Amino acid sequence: MQIITDVKEMREIVEGIKQSGQSIGFVPTMGYLHFGHLALITAARKQNNMVAASIFVNPAQFGPEEDFERYPRDVEADSIKAKSAGVDLLFCPKIEDIYGAGYATYVETEGLSEQLCGKSRPGHFRGVCTVVLKLFNIVQPKRAYFGQKDAQQFIILKRMTLDLNLDIEMICLPIVREADGLAMSSRNIYLTEQERRKATVLNCSLNEAKQLYDAGERNAQALLEVVEKKLLKVKEGRLDYAELVDLTHLLPITKIDKPALLALAMYFGQTRLIDNVILQ
């Protein structure tokens, strides 16, 4: 596995790969890799000649009061995990190479970015789209891999690739969970032991709604009431949102007559966790 920190060097390596006719599968990450990331790498390994992954904690997607400075970082451990999972190229660019002096260009997907997480994290998805487009331009993948835990992010990025005519196949893989059902996230490390136990309510509430849906319930409000009732019982948590939206525009729906996203976000202490289920 090669570890590349220089943008120009990465471009040169990619050019050689492209000229040889090989495909690149790409997994963009902010590091502190867990089994969710490794599942994406494994899928990329099976479907491409070469696998590239990036580690870049993107300052543009953090708000002024968010956790950019303390976001967990361990590039050495990440390198070992990435290599064992089958990464060929690990791209770890420097902030000044991604956002140089006088940087002033950003990418936005209007409408989608203002829904769900966008309401409490204004500007977040502008930062996500900007850095992912830059990484796409550098790595030039045939396929890019993301996890369903960040469903809104995937829907937004897929819209971006369509709107900007990027020839990249966007692939979303199921959520990888801990044994107790908590969705794997780099931010789980922030949780106290008690918060960690309580956080399992996220998946439990989604499961209850899914069971009701499978039993024939199609009224969105009825499903949301099941979720909110369970979440609001947790005194250690603070609900940010629970919404049932369509998969195209991420707008709230009243009745489920086609695949829909039941998504939620909740704070445990200072840690904000997200989870979701697709009802179809």
Q: Tell me the residue ranges of DSSP E strands in the chain.
A: 2-4, 24-29, 50-55, 89-91, 143-147, 169-173, 237-246, 260-268, 271-279
According to DSSP, residue 46 is labeled: H
Run of H or E residues at 256: none
Looking at residue 244, its amino acid is L
CB 194 within 8 A of CB 271: no
Q: What is the CA radius of gyration of the chain?
A: 19
Looking at the DSSP assignment, which residues form a beta bridge with residue 190? none
Active-site annotation, residues: 37
CA–CA dist 202, 256 (Å, integer): 21
Instruction: Tally Cβ neighbours within 10 Å of residue 100.
Output: 8
